[in-house]
């Protein structure tokens, strides 16, 4: 594990996320020469988050009590597991998932990236992969030179996964099978996953199939976001 050099905290609200944890910019950038120190892990995680977060969500913060509670629980469990294993660093392995539901434009994806960014300053190592369901299907479509099964495993096995817009595309037998295999793998191995969807809660089973909806119900903390389409509000 390398030592991550000092980082600039001003551009994208990370100073705010750190302030919420009572960590100053000086503290996060202190050079202790220890690749396993909490501050080094935080600098690494912030660097990863910056690479992985789309531009319009670069300042996102988690604003809902349910999402901040989910983060706290995940961190608590990861640290407990670190103590149990006597591990050098707290590495996220298992935990509950999060299902963010709500109509178009209320802020589901914003909340999801805010949550992932907030997780970056907790000091736990939680490498994440983010995709929308449409991009996922595109990545898994059989084509020359790509082994779809290897691609699938990249998403199925990642320690922390964001699947944006689940159920947004018109379902086919093939997309249903991908959804089922992915959700089932994450479910059976208790791998934390953030799902967003604009499917109404009572229509989840109709849109995603009963077996996917049933697993999501058990594995996820469900957060329903209400309100207006922020994009149209901003345009008005
Ligand atoms: N809490 C927030 N504070 C500031 N801006 C926000 C907040 N939540 C959402 N936004 C902004 O509102 C717009 C819509 O948010 P977002 O893309 O997250 O919606 P969504 O619910 O994912 O929509 P869709 O269902 O179409 O995917 C974006 O520009 C986003 O940055
Ligand atoms: Mg969205």
Give tens-digit pLDDT for 216-229: 999 999 999 999 99
Report the nearest atom of ligand 1 relative to the CA of 57. Answer: 31
Centre of ligand 2 to C-alpha 17, Å, is 22
- Kindly state the percentage of the chain with pLDDT values over 70: 98
Domain assignment present for 102: yes
Please indicate whether residue 141, judged by its CB atom, sits closer than 6 Å to ligand 1: no
pLDDT of 141 reads 92
- Compute the C-alpha angle 20/9/77, nearest 5°: 45
Domain assignment present for 229: yes
Domain assignment present for 106: yes
CATH number of the domain encompassing residue 104: 3.40.50.300
pLDDT of 6 reads 86
Centre of ligand 1 to C-alpha 110, Å, is 5
Domain count for the chain, please give it: 1
Token reading at 229: 């389409």
For residue 44, give Cα distances in angstroms to 4, 49, 125, 176: 6, 9, 9, 36
Centre of ligand 1 to C-alpha 178, Å, is 26
Instruction: Inform me whether the pLDDT recorded for 234 exceeds 80.
Output: no
Centre of ligand 1 to C-alpha 57, Å, is 8
**3-state secondary structure string across the chain:** CCCCCCCCCCCCCHHHHHHHCCCCHHHHCCCCCCCCCHHHHHHHHHHHHHHHCCHHHCCCCCCCHHHHHHHHHHHHHHHHHHHHHCCCCCECCCCCEEEEECCCCCCHHHHHHHHHHHHHCCCCECCEEEEEHHHHHHHHCCCCCCCHHHHHHHHHHCCEEEEECCCCCCCCHHHHHHHHHHHHHHHHCCCCEEEEECCCHHHHHHHHCHHHHHHHHHHEEEEECCCCCHHHHHHC
Domain region containing 68: 63-235
Which of 181, 143, 147 lies closest to 163, judged by CA? 181
- Kindly state the percentage of the chain with pLDDT values over 90: 86
pLDDT of 236 reads 65
Domain assignment present for 118: yes
Instruction: Inform me whether the pLDDT recorded for 232 exceeds 70.
Output: yes
Domain assignment present for 22: no
Domain assignment present for 146: yes
Please indicate whether residue 201, judged by its CB atom, sits closer than 6 Å to ligand 1: no
Domain assignment present for 54: no
Q: Which residue of 230, 235, 236 sits with most ligand 1 atoms within 8 Å of its CB, as the best mutation to test the pocket?
A: 230
State the angle between helix axes of 38-52 and 108-120 in degrees (0 to 180), rounded to the nearest 10.
Answer: 150
- How much is the average pLDDT of 112-138? 96
Confidence of residue 72 (pLDDT cuts 50, 70, 90): very high
Please indicate whether residue 134, judged by its CB atom, sits closer than 6 Å to ligand 1: no
Whole-number mean pLDDT of the chain? 94
Instruction: Inform me whether the pLDDT recorded for 125 exceeds 90.
Output: yes
Contact call for residues 109 and 232 (beta carbons, < 8 A): no
Centre of ligand 1 to C-alpha 12, Å, is 16
Instruction: Inform me whether the pLDDT recorded for 1 exceeds 80.
Output: no
Domain assignment present for 19: no
């Amino acid at each position: 594990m390398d030592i991550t050099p000092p980082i600039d905290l001003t551009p994208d609200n990370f100073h705010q996320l750190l302030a919420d944890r009572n960590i100053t910019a000086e503290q996060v950038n202190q050079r202790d020469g220890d690749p396993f120190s909490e501050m080094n892990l935080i600098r690494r995680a912030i660097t990863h988050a910056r690479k992985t977060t789309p531009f319009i969500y670069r300042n996102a913060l988690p604003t809902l009590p349910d999402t901040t509670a989910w983060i706290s629980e995940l961190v608590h469990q990861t640290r407990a597991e670190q103590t149990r294993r006597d591990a050098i660093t707290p590495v996220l392995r298992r935990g509950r998932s999060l299902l963010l539901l709500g109509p178009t434009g209320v802020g589901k994806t914003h909340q999801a990236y805010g949550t992932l960014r907030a997780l970056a300053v907790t000091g736990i190592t939680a490498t994440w992969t983010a995709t929308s369901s449409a991009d996922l299907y595109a990545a898994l479509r059989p084509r020359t030179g790509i082994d779809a099964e290897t691609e699938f495993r990249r998403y199925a096995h990642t320690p922390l996964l964001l699947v944006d817009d689940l159920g947004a595309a018109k379902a086919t037998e093939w997309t249903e099978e991908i959804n089922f295999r992915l959700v089932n793998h994450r479910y059976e191995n208790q791998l934390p996953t953030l799902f967003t969807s604009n499917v109404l809660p009572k229509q989840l089973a109709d849109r995603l199939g009963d077996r996917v909806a049933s697993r999501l119900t058990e594995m996820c903390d469900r957060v329903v976001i209400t309100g207006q389409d922020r994009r149209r509000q901003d345009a008005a």
